[in-house]
Amino acid sequence: MSRPTYSWILPIFDEAPALSRLIPRIVAASRPHPFEIIAINDASTDSSLRILKTLTKKFSSLKIINLPSHQGKWPALATGLRRARGRIIITLDADLQDDPREFPKLTPYLKQGYDFISGWRFKRRDPVYKILISLFGNWLISLVTGHQFHDLNAPFKVFRHSLLKHLPLTGSLFRFSLLFAYKLGFHTLEVPIRHHSRRFGHSKFGLIKYVRILYDLIVIIFLFTGSNRLSKIKS
């Protein structure tokens, strides 16, 4: 079997209403290149799995990983990333707030030599408290690193498969994969993309998410500062 150009990785938990729109958009955005879509059903309690199985009959590129118990977004994402075969990896949430039709805005930068391109939700359509917390986190990391970051936790990311062995797949540190790629010397870029208000389902994250993000920020600061800090592997 030939290696696909793109691997789309979609962690899915109770996103049934969006899937019938999401998968065709990914297919349209990927053509004419060979691609695979890896949908990780994280023990959804709605009809997500049934809809995915129906979609596989129409789209042979769609592959389903069905987790027997709910693991959470980051373990589900890591499961899909470990199965990805494409030369280029794309991560995306399944709620359609980020639109696969924005994909052509990101791919040209690969040809320009960038290794990691992240979609920047320039006009973010989320509750004010989420936007403010995000602004604070990006400001803090930018202050610590001396490099301006706009949207570190953006889910829409495009990067070369070769970076996978250097990015954190354990726990939730992958949310800062853009920072890891930058600090390790890879060529990174944030590109403004359209962001939509949530139309389907509801947010899966509460206050505990932001406590975990704060903890991850502290871990990141220690990883990239001090005598034992991680150093560049690419110049």
CB neighbours of residue 150 within 10 Å: 17
Tokens of 105: 């805005």
What pTM, to 2 d.p., does this model score?
Answer: 0.89
The pLDDT > 70 percentage for the chain reads 91
Mean pLDDT of 54-58: 97
Mean pLDDT of 16-21: 95
> Mean pLDDT score of the chain, rounded to an integer?
89
How confident is the model over 176-213, as pLDDT tens digits? 899 999 989 999 999 999 988 877 656 555 556 667 77
So what's the pLDDT on residue 130?
Answer: 80
User: Which CATH topology does 6-223 take?
Assistant: Spore Coat Polysaccharide Biosynthesis Protein SpsA; Chain A (3.90.550)
The pLDDT > 90 percentage for the chain reads 66
Phi and psi of 23, rounded to 5°?
Answer: -65, -45
> Which residue spans within 47-129 are E strands per DSSP?
62-66, 88-91, 116-121
Mean pLDDT of 91-110: 95
Domain ranges of the chain: 6-223
Task: State how far the alpha carbon of 172 is from the alpha carbons of 51, 78, 185, 212, 214, in Å.
Answer: 28, 9, 21, 8, 11
CB neighbours of residue 212 within 10 Å: 15
How confident is the model over 127-158, as pLDDT tens digits? 888 888 888 888 888 887 888 999 988 999 99
